Structure 1
Amino acid sequence: MAEYEDYEDNGFFNTSKGSSQDHENFLQFKKIFLPCMYLVVFVCGLLGNSLVLVISIFYQKLKTLTDVFLVNLPLADLVFVCTLPFWAYASMHEWIFGNFMCKTILGIYTMNFYTSMLILTCITVDRFLAVVQATKAYNQQAKWMTRGKIICLLIWVISLLLSLPQIIYGNVLYLDKVICGYHDDGISTVVLATQMTLGFFLPLLTMIVCYSVIIKTLLHARGFQKHRSLKIIFLVVAVFLLTQTPFNLVKLIRSTSWEYYAMTSYHYAITVTEAIAYLRACLNPLLYAFVGLKFRKNFLKLVKDIGCLPYLGVSYQWKSSEDTSKTLSASQNVEATSMFQL
């Protein structure tokens, strides 16, 4: 969390009256902007990821490897967004939840950050296998289901281990106000390098390699789903780049020189880009669940079961589309539909 770094110390900004005033303006901006963004991400992420979890557990029954990932991804994002109200209150006032909660929230936040990013990487590889090696992946579906569950368990364990520095070194700090964070230059460097590698470069590299091969495969395929599949790929990559690149770029620039800590413009940049990066927790349900025909069909069943919407025969249309997709997937065009229909 950018707000738990030690830029609250006004000593950096007291070199002149102008810079001190700029810092005061920044603090006022942060006090309004961050809580609003955190609460928006919290509400949208809570609703979206809860919906995906309910449908995945009660309607899709974990029949495929994709279903396994689509349970763990919203679960990680859901726990992640549940930490945001704590940070929202702390950014408006100060940290009042004590040292134990500080360590706990830091650990939960970090663990689910890594879990979410690593599962996104696994989903990319899963789609690669589903499209490029469709027949082989289908024949080994049961084996991949078992492997997928083991992979998800390993991801959670690895993420917990990676979050240990925040748990161990996280403390309540007393600056110009009480904040929750950790202040250790050596640990901060290791944490930053790990977050950049596993939280940005690994998913990005995986997307570039896998989706490049997928696009090449789809371009040689025939079928009405091909162009929709390509649009989904570009949308997934674009959203990842637009939400994650600015924040990671700012952090990378910051790591080159400590002088940036004394620049008010830098703190504006990292505050805004951090909030944008957290939008992934809201957008993941849309990108990795609602684009699938099967998921949308089950969503309609849920809506019908709870009586929120009259049955208008829409599910029949989706069922027809799904049946058509299955027919194509049994033909030479299997790679054109596997990507779109999760």
Structure 2
Amino acid sequence: NIPAFASTFFPVLYSLLFVTGLVGNVLVIWVLTVFKKVRAMTDVYLLNLAISDLLFVFSLPFLVQYCIKSQWTFGNAMCKIISSAYFIGFYSSVFFITIMSIDRYLAIVRSVYALQVRTTTHGVITSLVLWAVAILASVPDLIFFQETNDNNRTKCIADYPNSNNGWKTFSNFEVNVLGWLIPVGVLIFCYHSILKHLQKCHTQNKYKAMKLVFIVVIVFFLFWTPVNIVLFLDSLRNMYIIDDCQTSQRLDLAMELAEVLSFIHCCLNPVIYAFVGEKFKKHLR
């Protein structure tokens, strides 16, 4: 019983994630802005990644209430704001993790060229562009998510015109392409090139330099790949390729669990910084 499971398990989990994610990401922002002063391009990207994670964190208290009451009680405006924050946070997270990998590629493989482009100013400009793209990609969610009455319960869901599955399928594929396929292609190229370069130049400092970003990327895709797989299967259901009732119910449960993984991820990046990032550990001592 998905509703019964959600109303008991998810509120406790989301409350723990809210506290952990808020403290962890605020700590990252504090270290970057107060101690490190955001002097390097990588610092700019790490700062923006923490802000992206906070967008997830700020939506969690609303989801706790949503799960307990089994209906949305915050009004239509907050429905749109929280839904948009979720998707903007998702897109911006994947964009900043991808650009951090490109940054590591330039620093290690194209080190001479990197001296010209890896500046704080370029980092700020790139970050503004990525935020703009993330906001644009989330516009359909801002438009279609709204407070809706469903079986005498008020819900915050995507309400497409005339139950049009075309828009829903487009939204799913948008997440799959922008949030998974393109980043995977970029990451494979960057890390393949980095590994080839390191085979020729066995420098311990270069291994340390890529360790933080590499672990952040691996953790991201471990926790976001399930969501993308479920969204792809949901698109197949929208196109009636998957149409049996039992599979559809299992897909709904899989979506609930996959979304939990995505929220857990927003709490992991600060942990990674504390245990892997040497500079972060130094400032926290």
Shorter-normalised TM range: 0.7 to 0.9
* Maintained 8 Å contact 2:97/2:217: no
Q: How does 1:321-340 map to 2 (within 5 A)?
A: none
* Maintained 8 Å contact 1:52/1:71: yes
Cα distance change of structure 1 residues 260 and 271 upon mapping to structure 2, 3 Å threshold:
farther
Cα distance change of structure 1 residues 237 and 86 upon mapping to structure 2, 3 Å threshold:
same
* Maintained 8 Å contact 1:114/1:198: yes
* Maintained 8 Å contact 1:219/1:226: no
Give, as a single letter, the amino acid of the residue that structure 2 aligns with 1:95.
Answer: W
Cα distance change of structure 1 residues 137 and 227 upon mapping to structure 2, 3 Å threshold:
closer
* Maintained 8 Å contact 2:107/2:114: yes
Alignment: residue pair count? 274
* Aligned residue number for residue 170 of structure 2: 190
* Maintained 8 Å contact 1:90/1:96: yes
* Aligned residue number for residue 257 of structure 1: 237
* Aligned residue number for residue 30 of structure 1: 6
Corresponding position: 1:123 with 2:108: no
Corresponding position: 1:274 with 2:263: no
* Maintained 8 Å contact 1:211/1:233: no
* Aligned residue number for residue 102 of structure 1: 79
Give, as a single letter, the amino acid of the residue that structure 2 aligns with 1:32.
Answer: T
Normalised to the residue count of structure 2, the TM-score between the two structures is 0.87
Cα distance change of structure 1 residues 118 and 219 upon mapping to structure 2, 3 Å threshold:
same
Q: Distance in 2 between matches of 1:65 and 1:230?
A: 14
Shift of residue 74, structure 1, vs aligned partner: 0.3
Give, as a single letter, the amino acid of the residue that structure 2 aligns with 1:189.
Answer: T
Cα distance change of structure 1 residues 150 and 226 upon mapping to structure 2, 3 Å threshold:
closer
* Aligned residue number for residue 235 of structure 1: 215
* Aligned residue number for residue 136 of structure 1: 113
* Aligned residue number for residue 183 of structure 2: 203
Q: Distance in 2 between matches of 1:229 and 1:60?
A: 17
Corresponding position: 1:169 with 2:144: yes
Amino-acid identity (%): 34
Q: Which moved more, 1:43-52 or 1:265-274?
A: 265-274
Give secondary structure in 2 for the equivalent of 1:61. Answer: coil
Q: 1:150 aligns with which of 83, 103, 125?
A: 125
* Maintained 8 Å contact 1:26/1:264: no
Structure number with greater Rg is 1
* RMSD over equivalenced CA pairs, Å: 2.2
In structure 2, runs of 5+ residues without a counterpart are none
Q: Distance in 1 between matches of 2:127 and 2:210?
A: 27
Q: Distance in 2 between matches of 1:216 and 1:285?
A: 29
* Aligned residue number for residue 15 of structure 1: none
* Maintained 8 Å contact 2:173/2:235: no
Q: Deviations over 1:146-171 (max 9, x none)?
A: 22111111111222222222222221
* Aligned residue number for residue 284 of structure 1: 269
* Aligned residue number for residue 65 of structure 1: 41
Give secondary structure in 1 for the equivalent of 2:148. Answer: strand
* Maintained 8 Å contact 1:172/1:181: yes
In structure 1, runs of 5+ residues without a counterpart are 1-24, 301-342
Normalised to the residue count of structure 1, the TM-score between the two structures is 0.74
- The runs of at least 4 consecutive aligned structure 1 residues that moved more than 6 Å come to none
Q: Distance in 2 between matches of 1:206 and 1:222?
A: 24
Q: 1:79 aligns with which of 30, 35, 55?
A: 55
Q: Distance in 2 between matches of 1:108 and 1:261?
A: 32
Q: Deviations over 1:123-159 (max 9, x none)?
A: 1111111111223323544xx3222111111111222
Q: Distance in 2 between matches of 1:151 and 1:231?
A: 23
Cα distance change of structure 1 residues 41 and 260 upon mapping to structure 2, 3 Å threshold:
farther
* Maintained 8 Å contact 1:215/1:230: no
* Aligned residue number for residue 326 of structure 1: none
* Maintained 8 Å contact 1:121/1:202: no
